[in-house]
Structure 1
Amino acid sequence: MSLAEGRIPVLDIGPARAGAPGAAEDLAARIARTCEDTGFLVIAGHGIDPALPAACFEAAARFFALPEEDKLALRIGEYNIGYLPTGAQVIRTSKVAEVKQPNLNESFYIIRDYPPDHPAILEKRPFVAPNRWPPHLPGFREATLAYFTAMEALAQRLLPAVSMALGMPPDHLARDFRDPTCTLRLIRYQPQPAPEAGRFGFAPHIDTNLLTFLAQSALPGLEVRTAEGDWIRPPAIPGTFVVNTAEMLGRYSNGRFTPTPHRVLNQNDAMRYAIPFFFGPDNDAVIRPVPSCISAENPCRFEPLLYEDHRRMLNLRNFAHRQPQPAEA
Structure 2
Amino acid sequence: MNVPIIDVAPLLRDDPRGWREVEQALLDAHSTIGFSVLVNHGVPRNVTNDLFFVSRCFHALPEAQKMALRYGANLRGFLPLNTSTLSRSTLGAARKPNHSDSFVVLDDLDASLRDRWADSTMGGHQMWPQEVAGFEASARRYRAALSHLGMYVAPCFASIMGLPRNGLDRYFTPHNPILRLLHYPALPQRSPDEFGSAPHTDYGCLTFVAQDDVGGLQVQAADGSWFDVPYIEQSLVLNTGQVMATWSRGLIKATPHRVINHPDRDRYSIAFFYDCGLDTPIAPLMPAQPACARCSEPAKRYGDHLDSILRTNYAFTA
Give the TM-score, by structure 2 length. 0.93
- Rate the CA distance shift 1:299–1:255 in 2: closer, same or farther, 3 A: farther
Q: Determine whether 1:13 maps to 2:46.
A: no
The alpha-carbon deviation at position 166 of structure 1 amounts to: 1.5
For 1:66 and 1:204, locate their aligned partners in 2 and report how far apart those are by CA, in whole Å: 29
Q: Which residue of 2 aligns with 1:96?
A: 91
Q: C-alpha deviations, 1:4-58, integer Å up to 9, x for none?
A: 24xx111111123212232222222221121121100011121110111111111
What SS does the aligned partner of 2:16 have?
A: coil
One of 225, 238, 243 as aligned partner of 2:220? 225
What SS does the aligned partner of 1:296 have?
A: coil
Q: Determine whether 1:30 maps to 2:25.
A: yes
Contact 2:11 2:152 in 1 (8 A): no
The alpha-carbon deviation at position 120 of structure 1 amounts to: 6.4
Q: C-alpha deviations, 1:189-238, integer Å up to 9, x for none?
A: 11123320211011000000101001132310100001111211123110
Q: Which residue of 2 aligns with 1:316?
A: 311
Q: Which residue of 2 aligns with 1:296?
A: 290
What SS does the aligned partner of 2:284 have?
A: coil
Aligned residue type for 1:180: H
- What is the alpha-carbon root mean square deviation over aligned residues? 2.1
- Rate the CA distance shift 1:121–1:40 in 2: closer, same or farther, 3 A: closer
Deviates more, 1:267-276 or 1:55-64: 267-276
Q: Which residue of 2 aligns with 1:254?
A: 249
Q: Which residue of 1 aligns with 2:144?
A: 149
For 1:122 and 1:112, locate their aligned partners in 2 and report how far apart those are by CA, in whole Å: 12
Within 5 A, what are the aligned runs for 1:142-291? 142-291=137-286
Contact 1:193 1:267 in 2 (8 A): yes
- Rate the CA distance shift 1:280–1:267 in 2: closer, same or farther, 3 A: same
Aligned residue type for 2:289: S
Q: Determine whether 1:65 maps to 2:60.
A: yes
For 2:56 and 2:112, locate their aligned partners in 1 and report how far apart those are by CA, in whole Å: 31
Identity %: 29
Aligned residue type for 2:290: A
Q: Unaligned regions of 5+ residues in structure 1, if any?
A: 324-329
Deviates more, 1:209-218 or 1:126-135: 126-135
The alpha-carbon deviation at position 300 of structure 1 amounts to: 5.7
What SS does the aligned partner of 1:22 have?
A: helix
What SS does the aligned partner of 2:198 have?
A: strand
Aligned residue type for 1:150: A
Q: C-alpha deviations, 1:41-86, integer Å up to 9, x for none?
A: 0111211101111111111110011111111111101110001111
Within 5 A, what are the aligned runs for 1:101-112? 101-112=96-107
Within 5 A, what are the aligned runs for 1:127-138? 127-138=122-133
For 2:252 and 2:294, locate their aligned partners in 1 and report how far apart those are by CA, in whole Å: 14
